[in-house]
Amino acid sequence: MSDTHDLLFELGCEELPPTTLITLRDHLLKGICDGLVEANLRYGNTHCFATPRRLAVWIEDVEIIQADELVEKRGPAVAAAYDSDGNPSKAALGFARGCGAEFNDLGTLKTDKGEWLSYEKLEKGQPAKALIPGIIEKALNHLPIAKRMRWGSSNDAFVRPVHWVILLFGTEIINSTFFGITASNNSYGHRFHAPESLVITSPNSYNKQLKSAHVIVDFDERKALIKQQANQSAMAVNGVAHIDAELLDEITALVELPVAVTGSFDEHFLELPKEVLITTMQINQKYFPVLDTKGSLLPFFITISNIQSTNPASVIHGNERVIRPRLSDAEFFWRQDLKTTLAERIPSLDNVVFQHKLGSVGAKTQRVEKLSVELAKQLGHNPELASRAAILSKTDLVTDMVGEFPSLQGVIGRYYALQNTEDAEVATAIQEQYLPKQAGGELPSTKTGLVLALSDKLDTVVGIFSVGLIPSGDKDPFALRRASLGVLRILIENQIELDLKKLIHLSCLQFTHNFDEDNTKIKVLGFILDRLKGYCLNNDFRPEQFTAIMSVNCTGPVDFMRRIEAVKSFSLHDEAASLSEANKRIQNLLKKAPRNVSRLFDTKKLTDSHEIALYKKLQTVEADIEPLIKQRKYIDALKVLSTLKEPIDNFFEHVFIMADDENIKNTRLALLSKIHANFIKIADISML
């Protein structure tokens, strides 16, 4: 008999939520694997499956029985095991009773801390099939389901009603019940092509048997097939399928047997902005748009059917009939919106709430406009363009088009601004204010867009912090983390030499409500610097390198990145480790020094040749690094500082710093203070 079996668990449900299907699949697998590890059951390769009607897990080579385990329990100290008459104490007898043993069965355990009563027992391993149902039950209970539902007269709850359960261990059905349904080896194929019951003969045949029943249970295989079919269908009409990654996942979660179908729509709709048509097709209909090789939209779409129709023309006609009124609605919104200019919509923003303590979107627009003008002046950009872009920046929020398609905010603003004959850079800035939209996403390309994006994000972060709505855990309804990272990326990747403290202060000045300005500044700065840490770690810098720069209170993101690049490069040099240790030693000695000890430095008290040599070298180094630091040539400055290694080592080896003579001691400490002051001009390398 083999000592392992394959495990298969399938949960058959009504249609599962497509946007959470992958999450449910992955958490189910992880939960079962974690349970096997906790039960001390080893296993081999793992596979997970998910379709709209099922979640399944196949785990190879699961041990059929737990290994026997020698369990040792420690009881009271031997000194407390007997009473004054030499009889077992109550504590000793209680320990034996708790172990299910007699006192004479107890042993002793010697440790560094003394000798203790102990009991050893060999616990026989349990069969895996007795443990697996409980492991799966626990995994199901811990699935991240926001709201569970009940069905029928049962109190069982799950994300959707459950209709069948498979639990196979090898070829044997494990006797168990989930959600009131007894586990079997019966699954079901495609709802229309193979609706009858299907007996799964073994875990490793599951995938193949379901495929014969017109169900592709492997999510990734189904996803690849959909992408392939969409591309082939687009090529057939001389186009390229526009495949959005999130939409592809959603469509994959909606079908069990993907079949691509190509439809068309009236060409006159192409007069609308392509983003409007693409959004309509993707959001409302779950269609893949088709583009030409230059990126222009073609009058075709690709839909993924969940059935192999015997009359595909009817399927195509049905989809074309559905999309026509959708596109007509978009056309109506476009024409209606153009009857009112963006500038005429500005007063309407006063009726839209941004945040009840911070007022309307109109009030936010006024703050952003003032901040944008100031930043444009500081950066040498056109303040008039910055002002105009800021004033119009949110006006598309009150258009019918954005009301119907919120994801088009900014994009539609750009189109409407161009239709209103606004400056092209102003129009582009209205769209670019929302960039970057995700980590690593595109940044603003225009100067005005860059200024507007900075101003809008700063206003949001500072404003929300000023009313105490600080993000915690996963909750971040105003997307402050994304906004903060956006500020950092715009500054760093465009080499904009602005200081975060000054930017936050400037933003605070635009608010008129009562708030603790100093506290807000501190918290906002800390929040943004936390995002900077994540940015640095994602770019292959080490935590101690980040801390070394943080320790010197550098709050200019561009300057921060120059310093951390220098520190990273310097840390590869042989001198780095010894200089880091020397700086730690210097800091420890300075803790014992009088306040402002550097003022007590007296060259006349330098008597030892090694301290004199160190001081002379320090003078040379100071003269050399000063211009380098001004020019932000930090790596060159650190290389110059590294020449202090030998005289510092000689100083520590030959000079007694804490001399009996108070003046000599203070001069030596003052010398170390001067050395330390030069190092922290760039970073605290003692952190490395």
**Cis bond before residue 383 (omega within 30° of 0):** no
DSSP 654-681: H--SS-SSHHHHHHHHHHHHHHHHHHTT
- CB neighbour burial string for 151-184, b if at least 16 within 10 angstroms, e if fewer: eeeeebebbbbbebbbbbbbeebbebebbebebe
Region 562-687: CATH code: 1.10.730
Question: For the sheet containing 259-264, what is the strand order?
Answer: 240-241, 288-291, 297-305, 259-264
Which of helix, strand or coil describes residue 181? strand
CA distances from 651 to 424, 617, 648 (A): 66, 12, 5
Q: Domain 353-539 falls in which CATH fold?
A: Hypothetical protein af1432 (1.10.3210)
Percent with pLDDT over 70 in the chain: 99
What pLDDT, on a 0 to 100 scale, did the predictor assign at position 107? Answer: 80
> What residues form DSSP beta bridges with 303?
261
Identify the pLDDT of residue 2. 55
Rg (CA), the chain: 35
Rounded Cα gap, residues 511 and 654, in angstroms: 60
Q: What string of DSSP letters covers 472-501?
A: BTTB-TT-HHHHHHHHHHHHHHTT----HH
Which pair of tokens denotes residue 637?
Answer: 């400055």
Bridging pattern class, strands 240-241 and 186-188: unpaired
Residues of the chain with CATH 1.10.730: 562-687
Query: Where, residue-wise, is CATH 3.30.70 in the chain?
Result: 4-66+127-212
Residue identified by tokens 């007996």 is 199
Q: Give tens-digit pLDDT for 507-560.
A: 999 999 999 999 999 999 999 999 999 999 999 999 999 999 998 899 999 999
Q: What is the CATH architecture of 4-66+127-212?
A: 2-Layer Sandwich (3.30)
Blockwise average pLDDT, block size 10, the chain, 688 residues: 86 96 97 95 96 98 86 78 78 82 80 80 85 96 94 90 97 95 96 95 96 97 98 97 96 97 96 95 95 95 94 93 95 97 97 95 97 97 98 97 95 97 97 93 96 98 95 88 96 96 97 95 97 95 93 94 92 78 80 79 84 90 91 90 87 85 85 85 82
Instruction: Specify the domain boundaries for CATH 1.10.3210 within the chain.
Output: 353-539
* % of the chain surpassing 90 pLDDT: 72
Cα–Cα distance measured from residue 613 to residue 145, given in angstroms and rounded to the nearest whole number:
70
Q: What is the pLDDT of residue 1?
A: 39
b/e for 265-280, b at 16 or more Cβ within 10 A?
beeebeebbebbbbbb
- Residue-wise pLDDT for 561-614, tens only, equals 999 999 998 888 877 777 788 778 888 888 877 888 778 787 888 888 998 998
d(CA 135, CA 13): 20
